[in-house]
């Protein structure tokens, strides 16, 4: 093939210089920079007398996939016949995925009669006598392994930073911003934090998400995305909405960051070869409590979570009647939710949703008026509250309330210890203080310990989820004693009642405390 090359005049080759630099190459910035690649390749083609058609540059794009803007332009020019010789500084500039790199070298370029040269690797596909060509598959595999190793190190570094309380997010949620000097420090963005407080306040006092959106849109409040575009370099051409919607509201109401807790590692890349993002199980989230200044109190946030779980503020239409016990009442027979039908315009009666949809083959009708149910519930609540407030000690009634968070703090400290031990082991392995097999054995055990600790954290959260702190219990129940069916606070009922089961003759109330 050397003879074949010599048969081509220099002017036959129309050269496309391809250059690329990604984050994994930044440590070699001096040797791998775009300018360095250009100068080297321009000098080489000048010495050969070839015709330069164009220089293609993908700066900041990974080599693990070929979905790069200027690489696509290069392929398009090959298809048009504008380029028949592609030259790169080395094979890794073309790509680091050995499968796709092999496709272009072994199939696409030969099919299009395109010559490929990786200058520093000595690869020239038109030279059959070149022994470096035989090493091409091995170099591709090595480049792929390098990308995989870098990905592991980057991920490990990010997880270590997250475990130590450092922020690893590129963009912080609406309401917060990074410190200009210390990027790991999270600061309240006082320009929009009142909007966050208003959203929580409105939902907590009974407004539904649609009403909140209407308020924000009518007052021309910028959406989180619009505000991000205004204040940062963020750009997403596929998302041009400038109106608030219920999805945005839900995302804000569910975000624990507003209580001062930093929750990270909620999402992760599927692997180093794809940009696909997957959700990380909740028990694997990295949580640092009281990490930064809160915008919303934890009491308000927790109350809102209960309301969201029961959809307590959500009515399907603006003309719908808000029912005091909506989301709390279930059929005792089939466990389906109870809805309400108006009886000839006079009063509402309870009806099993399963019976309403499917008829008496699945359940039976319930002959119970809503006002009768409400009176029964309120009387039961007031009776229980009056009874409880006669005691000096409430710990016996709410035993779970004794847990003041110390157990969770202890578990989180143990998890941080395991993370530090794993990091220390990794450093010892790199320094060859311990062997690879010992590192694998010990780190595997630490990971198992960490997983068990995370399971304990999840169980602890579940235990505390439906319990009421002693001080909150006293404050809320004192308010209830002064309420009646016309002015009772629905939010307090949700905090006190877990669920209500009914049939024609029986009403059974399940409290979040030990009822009499």
**What is the distance between the alpha carbons of residues 139 and 137, in angstroms, rounded to a whole number?**
5
**Are the C-beta atoms of 312 and 490 separated by less than 8 Å?**
yes
SS3 315: coil
The pLDDT assigned to 403 comes to: 47
Collapsing DSSP to helix, strand or coil, 183 comes out as: coil
Decide: 353 and 338 in contact? Cβ < 8 Å. yes
Query: Phi and psi of 176, rounded to 5°?
Result: -130, 160
For residue 146 the two structure tokens come to 């390098």
User: CB–CB of 335/363 below 8 Å?
Assistant: no
Helices (H), ranges, 18-113: 29-32, 34-48, 69-79, 91-94, 98-103, 109-111
pTM beyond 0.75: no
Closest of 268, 64, 275, 271 to residue 159, by C-alpha: 268
- pLDDT value of residue 319: 46
- pLDDT value at residue 11: 73
Q: What is the pLDDT of residue 119?
A: 87
- Burial class of residue 6 in the structure, from the number of CB atoms within 10 Å of its CB (0-12 exposed, 13-18 middle, 19+ buried): exposed
User: In the prediction, which pLDDT does 158 show?
Assistant: 58
SS3 67: coil
For residue 55, what pLDDT is reported? 94
Nearest to 207 by CA among 497, 436, 491: 491
Q: For residue 168, what pLDDT is reported?
A: 56
Tokens standing for residue 250: 């839900």
Instruction: Please state, in angstroms and rounded to a whole number, the distance separating the CA atoms of residues 45 and 24.
Output: 28
Cα separation, 327 vs 334, in Å, equals 16
487 φψ region: left (φ > 0), alpha (ψ -120 to 50), beta (else): alpha
**Torsions phi, psi of 365, nearest 5?**
-70, 155
pLDDT at 383 (0 to 100): 80
pLDDT score at 455: 79
pLDDT the model gives residue 231: 83
Residue 141 CB partners (closer than 8 Å, separation 6+): 98
Give the Cβ contact number of residue 349 at 10 Å: 18
| Gap between the Cα atoms of 461 and 408, Å rounded | 8
Q: Could you list the mean pLDDT of each consecutive 10-residue stretch along the chain, which spans 516 residues? A: 57 89 59 82 89 91 84 93 92 81 86 90 80 60 54 58 62 83 81 92 85 90 87 66 86 90 68 60 75 87 84 50 80 87 81 83 85 88 70 44 61 80 76 77 78 77 58 59 60 80 88 69
What is the model's pLDDT at position 116?
92
Q: What is the 3-state secondary structure (H, E, C) of 369-399?
A: EHHHHHHHHHHHHHHHHHHHCCCCCCCCCCH
């Amino acid at each position: 093939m050397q003879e074949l090359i010599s048969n081509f005049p220099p002017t036959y080759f129309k050269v496309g210089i391809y250059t690329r630099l990604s984050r994994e190459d930044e440590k070699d910035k001096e040797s791998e920079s775009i300018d360095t690649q250009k100068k080297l390749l321009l000098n080489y083609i000048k010495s050969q007398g070839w015709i330069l058609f164009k220089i293609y540059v993908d700066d900041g794009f990974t080599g693990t996939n070929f979905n790069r803007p200027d690489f696509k332009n290069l392929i398009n020019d090959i298809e048009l016949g504008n380029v028949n010789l592609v030259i790169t500084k080395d094979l890794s500039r073309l790509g680091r995925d050995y499968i796709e790199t092999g496709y272009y070298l072994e199939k696409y370029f030969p099919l299009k009669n395109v010559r490929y040269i990786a200058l520093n690797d000595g690869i020239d596909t038109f030279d059959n006598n070149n022994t470096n060509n035989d090493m091409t598959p091995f170099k591709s595999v090595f480049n792929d392994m390098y990308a995989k190793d870098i990905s592991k190190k980057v991920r490990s570094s990010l997880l270590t930073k997250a475990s130590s309380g450092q922020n690893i997010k590129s963009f912080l949620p609406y309401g917060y911003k990074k410190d200009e000097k210390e990027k790991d420090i999270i600061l309240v963005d006082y320009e929009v934090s009142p909007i966050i407080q208003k959203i929580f306040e409105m939902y907590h006092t009974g407004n539904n998400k649609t009403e909140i959106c209407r308020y924000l849109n009518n007052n021309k409040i910028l959406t989180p995305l619009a505000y991000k575009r205004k204040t940062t370099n963020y750009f997403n051409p596929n998302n041009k909405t400038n109106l608030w919607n219920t999805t945005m509201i839900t995302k804000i109401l569910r975000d624990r960051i507003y209580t001062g807790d930093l929750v990270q590692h909620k999402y992760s890349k599927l692997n180093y070869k794809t940009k696909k993002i997957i959700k990380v199980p909740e028990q694997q989230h990295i949580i640092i409590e009281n990490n930064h200044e809160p915008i919303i109190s934890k009491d308000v946030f927790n109350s809102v979570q209960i309301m969201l779980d029961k959809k307590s503020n959500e009515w399907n239409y603006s003309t719908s009647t808000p029912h005091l016990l909506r989301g709390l009442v279930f059929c005792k027979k089939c466990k389906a939710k109870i809805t309400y039908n108006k009886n000839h315009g006079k009063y509402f009666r309870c009806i099993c949703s399963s019976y309403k949809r499917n008829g008496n083959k699945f359940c039976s009708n319930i002959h119970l008026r809503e006002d009768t149910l409400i009176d029964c519930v309120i009387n039961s609540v007031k009776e229980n509250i009056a009874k409880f407030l006669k005691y000096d000690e409430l710990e016996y009634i709410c035993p779970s309330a004794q847990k003041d968070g110390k157990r969770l703090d202890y578990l989180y400290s143990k998890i941080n210890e395991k993370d530090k031990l794993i990091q220390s082991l990794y450093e010892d392995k790199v320094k060859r203080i311990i062997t690879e097999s010992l590192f694998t054995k010990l780190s595997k055990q630490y990971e198992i310990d960490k997983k068990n600790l995370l399971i304990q954290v999840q169980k602890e959260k579940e235990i505390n989820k439906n319990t009421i702190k002693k001080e909150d219990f006293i404050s809320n129940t004192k308010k209830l004693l002064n309420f009646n069916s016309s002015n009772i606070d629905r939010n307090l009922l949700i905090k006190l009642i877990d669920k209500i089961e009914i049939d024609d003759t029986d009403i059974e109330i399940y409290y979040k405390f030990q009822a009499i």
